[in-house]
Amino acid sequence: MIQPPELYFNATAQSYLNNLNERLSFSKLFVLTDTNTSTKCLPALKELLGHSDFIEIICEAGELHKNIKTCSAIWSTLTEHRADRNALLVLLGGGVLTDMGAFAASCYKRGIRFLNIPTTLLAMVDASTGSKTGIDFEGLKNHIGLFSSPVATLIDQQFLKTLDQRNLKSGVAEMFKHGLIYNREHWKSLKEQHLNPEILIADSVAIKIDIVNQDPTERGLRKILNFGHTLGHAIETHFLETPQPLLHGEAIALGMILEAYLSHTCGSLAKEELDEITTTLCTFYELPALSDADRKSIVPLLQHDKKNAANTVQFVGLKQIGEALYDVLYSAEAIDDGFDYYNGITCR
């Protein structure tokens, strides 16, 4: 059984760190950072930790480094510093770092404790809750991984001060998704507050946790959190290999437009709601057109989606804004029409 992690926000997250050793009594403390969070976020963490000594492990930033090679380097450093099973690994970073660091911690000596301190909006509202850990493998997103929970997730919004606008907007995509699949009011609030999404973080996290708690290991309902991700992950993977990679949230925004179109043409999503979703997302994000060559590379990647069963690609559809369905099948022709629809959108 996956235990949902304890969650602390802002002041309570800070006081958790002030008393870290008394709370968790670890043998050694390690802090995993990337080349950006090491300079931008570690100074604030050091202040909160006070006199606690720790060993920093720095990895390269970005999705291209979310792989077994980086994990191997993390395991080597832990071994070199004789981390035992009572060591604690603090994960200070965005979703790439929390996914990969959690995976590395969960495998080291069959599992050491780890603590999530998400520093991007995307990691705060999505990646650092829900206990999915993992790395990319042979070009496939999150292909190797396991469910494993941190001892706690500490969401301290002070870390967002140094995050650039593009990454902030990338995080809003997962918040939009939470509204679209589960809570119409959240979608509406975000449309009004999208320039100030920080005030809706706790609401967005609450939606994610409510869904995860009903189905921790994704046998049914939890699949709806993958809305936009079936095509979005394939799109993200495809563009990762190009000179213009997309951020995770941008790829998911594009995936949500395509999957909303499919929900309309092959399901019950009303045309006005499709238009509302498309207009909102394509005015908020700068998204690329998709050439025939892009399509040819993206479509085969759908075969590797983790939700697939019996050789079929299973999608999440929207019944209406605020309500989603899972295990939905679409024909290859419908998917192709979706790309035509997307390329024809005038607001892009």
Ligand X SMILES: NC(=O)c1ccc[n+]([C@@H]2O[C@H](COP(=O)([O-])OP(=O)(O)OC[C@H]3O[C@@H](n4cnc5c(N)ncnc54)[C@H](O)[C@@H]3O)[C@@H](O)[C@H]2O)c1
Instruction: Provide the binding-site residues for ligand X, judged by CB under 6 A.
Output: 34, 36-37, 40-41, 61-63, 66, 93-97, 99, 119-120, 122-123, 126-127, 130, 132, 141-142, 159, 162-163, 167, 170, 174, 247-248
Tell me which DSSP letter residue 312 carries.
Answer: B
Q: Which residues pair with residue 7 across a beta bridge?
A: 153
Who's near 236: CB < 8 A, 6+ residues apart?
Answer: 63, 141, 246, 248, 251, 252
In whole angstroms, how close is the CB of 161 to ligand X at the nearest point?
Answer: 7
Whose Cβ is closer to ligand X: residue 93's or residue 317's?
93
> How many Å from the N-terminal Cα to the C-terminal Cα in the chain?
44
In whole angstroms, how close is the CB of 208 to ligand X at the nearest point?
Answer: 8
In whole angstroms, how close is the CB of 58 to ligand X at the nearest point?
Answer: 11
Whose Cβ is closer to ligand X: residue 249's or residue 317's?
249
155 burial level (CB within 10 Å; 0-12, 13-18, 19+): buried
SS3 54: coil
Whose Cβ is closer to ligand X: residue 163's or residue 316's?
163
Tokens of 241: 């290999």
Whose Cβ is closer to ligand X: residue 119's or residue 263's?
119
In whole angstroms, how close is the CB of 340 to ligand X at the nearest point?
Answer: 28
Whose Cβ is closer to ligand X: residue 123's or residue 224's?
123
Q: Are 191 and 280 in contact (CB under 8 A)?
A: yes
In whole angstroms, how close is the CB of 225 to ligand X at the nearest point?
Answer: 8
Who's near 50: CB < 8 A, 6+ residues apart?
Answer: 18
Tokens of 283: 């005015």
